[in-house]
């Protein structure tokens, strides 16, 4: 397996810049997840790596070899798409073997590779079926099997699970993570499902408007988002951003509550729902009207309107009995706040 190195990569379509200077090193064996809003360039970036699109400028190296101008089949990568496009008239076995046979691999070798992949993906009992007789998750595993048998230098996945229903997606996610460990393969995986990103990634790359906003481990990005975009992109419920004043070295929150704040240039603070503790009215630094309380079993997800146009998301213990319309307080520890400047950049490094 090989690492992937992108240097100053750009792509424009008809004069419109879609990828605007992406530099990224994916280490050998790394599971790198690319996330970002629809249209930010995730698929385009993956297609550039695969060679399905030609870079406008910049370079792409795979395993230390410059492949920027090589055709897709000379790059040694395997790509798995959201729509898995299996051949409907062929059995699972023949679907998986097709690429190898086209490449004139000896039939004994083909049989061995298909058997290995089928065992790894738990498709052994399904090899003689046609795709139409498989579930969505099984079809997706066949598409992955088709990639595995080629021993690619790296795998590229573009939202491979988004056609599956929630429980199948969760199962397949776990299987893919296990497959990654078993193969020790370099994988670049595009998704807009943040649970997939958080659970599978060694490293997450947040893309926005064709630029990298931040890259790092799921923990880095969640606990120290570099800006308000990343802060609000990862995490559910979304992080609440609260505009603040700073007076006499203290943060003044809407409604007048104060917390001590060591940060110069502070304009807004970010608050994760799990750090907002619901109290009796007057018992915290914020207060307001409860506008929603969703019982989720393990937790109670609530929204509190603390000022005009400002609603704070909080997670409360499930046994808390509160009803919309009630007034509640919100307690916050200053250490849990994420400090941001007016331009959205994180202040404390």
Distance in angstroms (rounded) separating the CA atoms of residues 70 and 304: 55
User: Counting Cβ atoms within 10 Å, is residue 223 exposed (0-12), middle (13-18) or buried (19+)?
Assistant: exposed
In the complex, minimum distance from the CB of residue 198 to Mg ion, in angstroms, rounded to a whole number: 19
Encoded tokens for 40: 């930010």
In the complex, minimum distance from the CB of residue 320 to Mg ion, in angstroms, rounded to a whole number: 40
Consecutive H or E run containing 304: strand 300-307
Is residue 43 involved in binding ligand ATP (CB under 6 A)? yes
| Residue in the structure block whose two tokens are 């051949």 | 87
Region class of 238: left (phi > 0), else alpha (psi between -120 and 50), else beta:
beta
In the complex, minimum distance from the CB of residue 275 to Mg ion, in angstroms, rounded to a whole number: 33
Q: Which of 38, 102, 167, 323 binds ligand ATP (CB under 6 A)?
A: 38
In the complex, minimum distance from the CB of residue 138 to ligand ATP, in angstroms, rounded to a whole number: 24
In the complex, minimum distance from the CB of residue 37 to ligand ATP, in angstroms, rounded to a whole number: 7
Is residue 138 involved in binding ligand ATP (CB under 6 A)? no
What SS3 class is residue 114?
helix
Is residue 160 involved in binding ligand ATP (CB under 6 A)? no
Q: Describe the crossing of helices 107-120 and 92-102 by its angle, rounded to 10 degrees.
A: 130
40 binds, among ligand ATP, Mg ion, none (CB under 5 to 8 A by kind): ligand ATP
Q: State the virtual CA torsion across 147, 152, 153, 155 in degrees, nearest 10.
A: 0
Distance in angstroms (rounded) separating the CA atoms of residues 13 and 92: 37
CB closer to ligand ATP out of 17 and 336: 17
Q: Which of 8, 13, 23, 236 binds ligand ATP (CB under 6 A)?
A: 13
Distance in angstroms (rounded) separating the CA atoms of residues 345 and 11: 26
Q: With CB under 6 A as the contact rule, which of the stretches 32-40, 194-202, 276-284, 291-299 interacts with ligand ATP?
A: 32-40
Contacts with Mg ion, residue ranges (CB under 5 A): 43
41 binds, among ligand ATP, Mg ion, none (CB under 5 to 8 A by kind): ligand ATP
Is residue 41 involved in binding ligand ATP (CB under 6 A)? yes
Distance in angstroms (rounded) separating the CA atoms of residues 300 and 277: 11
| Residue in the structure block whose two tokens are 């995730």 | 42
Is residue 265 involved in binding ligand ATP (CB under 6 A)? no
Distance in angstroms (rounded) separating the CA atoms of residues 230 and 329: 28
| Window 169-198: residues binding ligand ATP (CB under 6 A) | 192
- Give every CB contact of residue 222 below 8 A, 6+ residues apart in sequence: 198, 234, 235
CB closer to ligand ATP out of 28 and 194: 194
In degrees and rounded to multiples of 5, residue 82 shows phi and psi of -65, -45
Is residue 42 involved in binding ligand ATP (CB under 6 A)? yes
In the complex, minimum distance from the CB of residue 169 to Mg ion, in angstroms, rounded to a whole number: 17
CB closer to ligand ATP out of 206 and 337: 206
275 binds, among ligand ATP, Mg ion, none (CB under 5 to 8 A by kind): none
In the complex, minimum distance from the CB of residue 163 to Mg ion, in angstroms, rounded to a whole number: 13
Residues lying near ligand ATP in the complex (CB under 6 A) are found at 13, 18, 36, 38-44, 192
């Amino acid at each position: 397996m090989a690492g992937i190195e992108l240097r100053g990569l750009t792509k424009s379509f008809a004069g419109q810049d879609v990828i605007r200077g992406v530099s990224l090193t994916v280490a050998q064996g790394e599971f790198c997840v690319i996330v970002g809003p629809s249209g930010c360039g995730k698929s385009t970036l993956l297609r550039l790596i695969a060679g399905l699109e030609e870079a406008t400028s910049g370079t792409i190296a795979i395993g230390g070899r410059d492949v920027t101008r090589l055709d897709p089949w000379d790059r040694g990568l395997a790509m798995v798409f959201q729509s898995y496009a299996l051949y409907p008239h062929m059995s699972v076995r023949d679907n998986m073997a097709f690429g190898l046979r086209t490449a004139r691999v000896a039939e004994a070798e083909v049989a061995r590779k298909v058997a290995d992949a089928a065992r790894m993906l738990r498709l052994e009992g399904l090899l003689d079926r046609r795709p139409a007789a498989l579930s969505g998750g099984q079809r997706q595993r066949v598409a992955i099997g088709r990639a595995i048998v080629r021993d690619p230098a790296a795998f590229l996945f573009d939202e491979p699970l988004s056609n599956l229903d929630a429980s199948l997606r969760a199962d397949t996610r776990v299987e893919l993570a296990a497959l990654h460990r078993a193969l020790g393969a370099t994988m670049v995986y595009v998704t807009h499902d943040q649970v997939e990103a958080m659970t599978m990634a060694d490293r997450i790359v947040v893309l926005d408007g064709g630029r990298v906003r931040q890259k790092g481990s799921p923990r880095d990005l969640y606990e120290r988002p570099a800006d308000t975009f990343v802060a609000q992109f990862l995490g559910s419920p979304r992080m609440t951003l609260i505009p603040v004043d700073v007076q006499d070295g203290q943060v003044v929150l809407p409604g007048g509550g104060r917390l001590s704040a060591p940060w110069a240039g502070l304009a807004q603070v970010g608050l994760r729902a799990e750090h907002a503790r619901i109290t009796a009215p007057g018992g915290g630094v914020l207060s307001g009207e409860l506008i929603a309380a969703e019982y989720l079993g393990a937790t109670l997800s609530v929204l509190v309107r603390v000022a005009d146009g400002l609603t704070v998301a909080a997670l409360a213990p499930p046994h808390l009995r509160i009803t919309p319309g009630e007034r509640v307080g919100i307690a916050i520890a200053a250490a849990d706040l994420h400090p941001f400047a007016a331009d959205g950049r994180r202040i404390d490094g």
